[in-house]
Each structure stands twice: as structure tokens, then as C-alpha cells.
Amino acid sequence: MNREEKRQAVRVDSRILFTARLLSDDVFQRIKQDYNDGISIYNRPELADIHLFVGARAALARLKERDEDLATFLQHIDAKLNSLLKKVDNGSSLMDKLTLQSVNLAGNGLAFWSTKAYTKGDILEFYIVLPSNDTFVDCIGEVVECVEDSADGQANHRVSCQFRMIMEGDREELIQYNFKQQSLALKLRRIGED
């Protein structure tokens, strides 16, 4: 394993805003063809809401450093507008599907828990919001393993996936996020030992 493969293999468990959706082969082939033609996977209408959400959160975080009261006020207005838009808009948005979940992340893939069973080879699209800087990552992976675990009385499946299509900048964001999380865990462990 070379140095870059080792960097990509660093894994952390984290609670993040996350959802996954199964892609049909024809949708995956269309996205793949667009990607090969130089069209970013981010240039799709269904991602507009998430871009607004992530952009607004990042802008509010920067504003909070300068004027906390104004940022808090604008955050409340943003929440109210989002609530009103949900009532007016009959369609379901990607934002409605994002939930805080435990995900095992790496630069080369991820694993998550699902009530749905997937088959090895299924193609999934992942929507990820990293909490540290509200980075949005949209990528596509292939199921390499789906293991059922009914220990808690519910049928849950640990779904392990390898990335098939991810922007290199997004891969680097995931790797850097993992290194920061590991560093934080080490710091907390040292504090606990003192």
C-alpha cells in the first residue's frame, strides 16, 4: 500500500448529516457520462437546496465571528424561511432526507447503518455534510458488503461501500476531516489520562 492509499484508508466514526440513495444503472451511467464530459456532479437541479443550506450555514459561521447577535438573528430568520418554504413547496427536497447519522468515513469509502438491505454491487449516491466547516460532499459508491445485525431487535444492516466517483477535492476534505477528528480524539484521551 503506497502513501496515498494509506491516507485514504484512515477511518473515523463520526455523526454527520447524511443520506444515501440507490441509483439505477441508467441514472448512474448518465451521471458518469456527464462527469467524463467535464460536467461536475454538483451541477444538478436536485442539489440546489443543499447548496443554499450549506452556503448559508458557512456564511453565518463566518458572520458569527464578527457579530454574534446579528448572526443569531439571521439564523432564526433562515430557519423560519426554511419552515415556510416546506409548507409552500409540496415536493420533497434533499434537505428533508438528510439526518444526523453515525457513519464510518474514509477517503476511499464509507460504511453506514440502514434498515434497508442492499446487494453487493448496488450503486449508491451519498450526500454528506461535514460538521467542522459545513462542507457538502456528493459522491457515488458501490456496495461491497451488507451485513445484517439484529442485536437490538430491529433488522439493521451495516453497509460498506467503496467510492466509484468522487471529486478529488472532496476526497481530500474527507481525509483532512478524518485527521482532525483523530487528533481531537487523541487530545481528549490525553486530557482524560491527566
Among residues 191, 162, 156, 185, which one has the least CA distance to residue 14? 185
pLDDT tens track for 32-75: 998 888 888 887 777 777 767 777 777 877 888 898 888 788 87
Query: CB neighbours of 172 closer than 8 A, spacing ≥ 6?
Result: 107
pLDDT tens track for 144-188: 999 998 666 666 999 999 999 999 999 999 999 999 998 888 888
Q: Which is the CATH superfamily of the domain at 3-40+98-193?
A: predicted glycosyltransferase like domains (2.40.10.220)
Least confident of 23-27, 40-44, 135-139: 40-44
Upper half-sphere CA count for residue 113 (Cβ side, 13 Å) = 15
Among residues 144, 161, 167, 181, which one has the least CA distance to residue 109? 161
CA–CA gap between residue 132 and residue 107 (Å, rounded): 16
Q: What is the reported pLDDT for 157?
A: 93
DSSP-derived letter for residue 46 is G
